[in-house]
Amino acid sequence: MQSKFLSITVLRCPNCGNDLDGLSTDIVFFCNECGRCQVYGDELVPVEIEFTRFDDSGTILLPFWKVDATVEIFRRISRGESRTTPIAGQRKFQEGKPDHVESSKESRRELIIFPAFSTSLVLSTGVMLHEEEFLQEFLQFGKYPPIIGGSVGLEDVSKIAEGVAVGIEVQRSDYLAFIDLNIEVHSLKVLAIGCTPKKHAFRINGTDIKIPFTAVEDANDILNRGGYNV
Query: Site residues (CB under 5 A) for Zn ion?
Result: 13, 15-16, 18, 31, 33-34
| Residue nearer to Zn ion on the CB measure, 18 or 124 | 18
Write down the least CB distance from residue 15 to Zn ion, Å: 4
Our CB check for Zn ion shows the closer of 105 and 143 to be: 143
Q: What are the CA-CA distances from residue 128 to residues 38, 52, 123, 133 (Å)?
A: 26, 17, 9, 11
| Min dist. Cβ of residue 43 to Zn ion (A) | 15
63: exposed, middle or buried (C-beta count within 10 Å: 0-12, 13-18, 19+)?
buried
For Zn ion, the closer CB: 38 or 158 = 38
Nearer to Zn ion, 15 or 25 (CB): 15
Minimum distance from residue 142 beta carbon to Zn ion (Å) = 12
Q: Where are the alpha helices (DSSP H) in 23-180?
A: 86-95, 122-129, 154-171
**DSSP H helical segments within the chain, as ranges?**
86-95, 122-129, 154-171, 219-225
| 18/118 with CB nearer Zn ion | 18
Minimal distance, residue 146 CB to Zn ion, in Å: 15
Question: How many C-beta neighbours within 10 Å does residue 160 have?
Answer: 19
Phi-psi region of 163 (alpha: psi -120 to 50; beta: other; left: phi over 0): alpha
Between CA 130 and CA 111 the distance in angstroms is 8
Give the nearest distance from C-beta 152 to Zn ion in angstroms: 21
49-52 and 175-198 beta bridge pairing: parallel
Is residue 20 a contact partner of residue 43, using CB atoms and an 8 Å limit?
Answer: no
Q: Which is nearer to Zn ion, 39 or 112 (CB)?
A: 39
The distance of Cα 126 from the centroid of its chain, to the nearest Å, equals 6
How near is the Cβ of 116 to Zn ion at its closest, in Å?
19
